[in-house]
A and B are shown apart, each in its own frame.
Chain A
Amino acid sequence: MSSAEFENIATLEDEFTESPEVTPERQVEMSAHDISIWFNKRKVLEGVNIEFPKRTVTALIGPSGCGKSTFLRTLNRLHELIPGAALAGEIRYEGKDIYAPEVDPVLIRLAIGMVFQKPNPFPSMTIRGNVLAGLKLSGMKRPNHDDIVEETLTAAGLWTEVKDRLNHEAGSLSGGQQQRLVIARALAVNPHVLLMDEPCSALDPASTLKVEETIRQLSKDITIIIVTHNMQQAVRVADYTAFFLAAEGEPGHIVEQGPTTDIFGNPQDQRTLDYVNGRFG
């Protein structure tokens, strides 16, 4: 990967922040404090407390329907767009409450990018247009668009497949290619945090590995929070893991969280042990 751009950011940020190796206690980029989430009257998540240290990968795992996607969407204020959605608690980004009244959600979403469960390229735009869509939509100015396109598509593992047809419509790509395209699109606006909701569920093993490599590479510069159903993937990419669970008819919560090696190697809770060994969920 031509990572000149990313190294650039890294050196830039190093001027302002201590590098992770120096401090024993890693700096916290985002944190959730006593978060509960409702859809209308129905509470789907309760009492979630978690910290996401800077430049780390955190995996959120847990059975289907336990509220992982919903939680992820509260981290960049997408949850509030659903009619009837409500939230209690506090989400902090760089120490500040992102739901404070004076905060502009548009800027939060620009700094905290997201890749969705289903690929959603913009059908009216070309492949190149999709990669650069974030710049156009947010009004962000970055020079050298050609370089951005090549870098982000390379990072997403799509460059060699599309470099000769950048001006074709995005709809002409396969589902897996579309997913890698939207990963590139999310990277083009230089997010500080990247939320990924099962980014590899539509990908073949080769592109999955490619994307995982990209995640590892990116985590040198940015904070990544990834939802995954793939245990091996969590082990491969994540520094930390949080296990979500919702009992029948009750809101979901975090059963256990900590370094990935602990969650998978030495879980404290029987339910975690069962889940990571594929015994339920």
Chain B
Amino acid sequence: MSSEAQDLEKLTSEEYKYGFVTHIEMDTVEKGLSEDVIRFISAKKEEPEWLLEWRLKAFRLWQTMEEPDWAFVDYPPIDYQDISYYSAPKMKERPKSLDEVDPELLDTYEKLGIPLKEQEMLAGVAVDAVFDSVSVATTFKEKLSDMGIIFCSFSEAVKDYPDLVRKYLGSVVPQGDNFFSALNSAVFTDGSFVYIPKGVRCPMELSTYFRINSLGTGQFERTLIVADEDSYVSYLEGCTAPIRDENQLHAAVVELVAHDNAQIKYSTVQNWYPGDKNGKGGIYNFVTKRGKCAGVNSKISWTQVETGSAITWKYPSCILQGDNSVGEFYSVAVTNNRQQADTGTKMIHIGKNTRSTIISKGISAGYSSNTYRGLVKIMKNADGARNFSQCDSMLMGDTCGAHTFPYIENHNDSAQMEHEATTSKIGEDQIFYCNQRGISTEDAVNMIVNGFCKEVFRELPMEFAVEAQKLLGISLEGSVG
């Protein structure tokens, strides 16, 4: 073996950094799913009757639905009765400030690089942390509320802002939208809620960290962001989970609503545990994310960097309803070892002069499979709609696969659409060129891959971009030899 190959071997053995387990007393419901379990969850959360009914309706719909099988992913059947649908750190009451949060929990977030305490003190990012099913802390709340911004856990929102929640919940992703959204609607336990009032520009990045800790639980969070007229918000989402041999299910729903002239920028760095080298364990990430540009001149951009999860099934989409509204999707999806990703977007052009941009970068290594699946749909009245799509795939080695399924449905002759797609192999030539200038293979791969993803990374807020670059390096370690 050449010394280079040995280096790479060593690097591959580097393990998932966030794989530790927090030992903390949990309140967990027995495995299985039934109306009783849903009533239990709803009662635990002291929810109003309408929400319980909403959940039950979702559950009944779900029971009539089939798990989708059209995605380019392959996994053994999931036993939905073998999952616990509620798990929460034992807390007597919801903590009023960080001082009341269990130090073990805070310690966990430290290890993840999210010191909540410091976050609160230093200016910068407001964080909502969701541990298994419940939100444990939201920082910066007061400062934000002075501006009329609501940023809290979903459960709190249900209690404190029931009218807003009731108005928007399910308005973008209805309960019966798809199998996983129905499941989520029935059993979701927490998540984040954001409301930006008219004319307010949120002065800081709002951020949620999701963490799956308990064994045998699923995580079903629900995020709802509403940007009222002339407002702006940038929202970041990060995720990690401990190393488990079992697969764990994560089925989240995210709904965004942008009113007239409002802008929502939603960025995700998804680093759930991907399973080991041979594909044992890892998170099944089956997520429904959709934004509605309800108002004129509104804009929603999705930026995602997906490096984790055993299976990713995710299509952050935009419904461009308001005239002149804009939808954007910037994505980097990295798969290594046995990971499978089927991800992309849908841009539904309804209003006039609506525009959408899709930039997708797929990087596959090892034995992984990486699929881009996208739909651009131009409705009959969407005069002057425009779309630009660019889907680039990069392959590392000969044992991985990349697939591209760009669907177009056009019902209006005035639409302009452009589609570009490339597939490249990370070149021995490129690596040698870097080596010949003194740059190590590891650094060369990092540099080349980051260059490949540049158009996406530059859409991320600065700190997130740095983190994403590092993550990419870690995910791909040992994939070129």
Do these two chains interact?
no
